[in-house]
Chain A
Amino acid sequence: DAGVIQSPRHEVTEMGQEVTLRCKPISGHNSLFWYRQTMMRGLELLIYFNNNVPIDDSGMPEDRFSAKMPNASFSTLKIQPSEPRDSAVYFCASSSYKETQYFGPGTRLLVL
């Protein structure tokens, strides 16, 4: 299995631009999680889905952030408009029922 796949691995953009991060979970996993990691705040859960349905988005910072999971094999996290304080590493993780979460390699986002 290829594991959780994230793209792009690195993204540099200018403030105000739209950023879209992509995630392909492990096949057969029915839960998908988006995390953000920064030096200041550590690892934060942004949102997670069960069976493509958003369950808890209380960690999404503000309306500039949105996430979708149109099918079991794909999810996006969008930031529009982006701001310098959004610079972080964004991780996607997936799991199956009552099993461990497996993390993707992350997307390093830098907003100038």
Chain B
Amino acid sequence: AQSVSQHNHHVILSEAASLELGCNYSYGGTVNLFWYVQYPGQHLQLLLKYFSGDPLVKGIKGFEAEFIKSKFSFNLRKPSVQWSDTAEYFCAVENYGGSQGNLIFGKGTKLSVKP
């Protein structure tokens, strides 16, 4: 079965620190990849997505992610985090060509940014 692994359960950073959240998936075919963010008490919002093309994807709020097919990875990065980035981040994979929209989510990584 497909699965998505987010290795860090909780990450604590100071403001201006660089961020990298890991995401690995276990499907060998073509995939669509997503990062969603959930601010405290709110719903999931799309941060960025990769369908095809340039494997380095830029999203909102200065986030980016790199798809490395050989490593089955789609890590999320931000050069300098802010207190307002405190949230939970979810990586998700969609099996391209499979049942439409069946996203498999990782367990999420909580990011706490200290001011």
Which of chain B's residues has its CB closest to A105's CB? B43
* B residues lining the A interface (CB < 8 Å): 32, 34, 36, 42-46, 49, 51, 90, 99-103, 105-108
A45 in contact with B102 given A100-B34, A100-B49 (CB within 8 Å): yes
Which of chain B's residues has its CB closest to A49's CB? B101
Contact assessment for A103 and B108 in the assembled complex, using a CB-CB cutoff below 8 Å = no
A56 in contact with B46 given A42-B107, A43-B90 (CB within 8 Å): no
- Roughly how many angstroms separate A55 CA and B101 CA in the complex, as a whole number? 11
Q: Does A34 contact B (CB under 8 A)?
A: no
- Roughly how many angstroms separate A32 CA and B51 CA in the complex, as a whole number? 20
- Roughly how many angstroms separate A56 CA and B90 CA in the complex, as a whole number? 22
Residue from B32, B46, B90, B107 within 8 A of A102 (CB atoms): B46
Contact assessment for B44 and A31 in the assembled complex, using a CB-CB cutoff below 8 Å = no
Which of chain A's residues has its CB closest to B51's CB? A98
Q: List 26 A–B pairs whose Cβ atoms lie within 8 Å, in order of A's numbering.
A: A31-B101, A33-B103, A42-B105, A42-B106, A42-B107, A42-B108, A43-B90, A43-B108, A45-B102, A45-B103, A48-B99, A50-B99, A50-B100, A55-B102, A56-B99, A93-B44, A95-B101, A97-B100, A100-B34, A100-B46, A100-B49, A103-B36, A103-B43, A103-B44, A104-B43, A105-B43
- In the complex, what's the smallest C-beta–C-beta distance from B19 to chain A, in angstroms? 21
Residue from A101, A103, A104, A105 within 8 A of B101 (CB atoms): A101
Which of chain B's residues has its CB closest to A89's CB? B43
Contact assessment for A31 and B103 in the assembled complex, using a CB-CB cutoff below 8 Å = no
Contact assessment for A31 and B100 in the assembled complex, using a CB-CB cutoff below 8 Å = yes
- Roughly how many angstroms separate A29 CA and B46 CA in the complex, as a whole number? 16
Contacts of A43 in B (CB 8 A): 44, 90, 105, 108
Contact assessment for A101 and B103 in the assembled complex, using a CB-CB cutoff below 8 Å = yes
Interface string of A94-112 (1 = CB under 8 A from B): 0101101111111000000
Contacts of A45 in B (CB 8 A): 102-103, 105
- In the complex, what's the smallest C-beta–C-beta distance from A68 to chain B, in angstroms? 18
- Counting from the closest, the 4 A-B pairs by CB-CB distance are A103-B44, A42-B107, A103-B43, A31-B101
Which of chain A's residues has its CB closest to B96's CB? A98
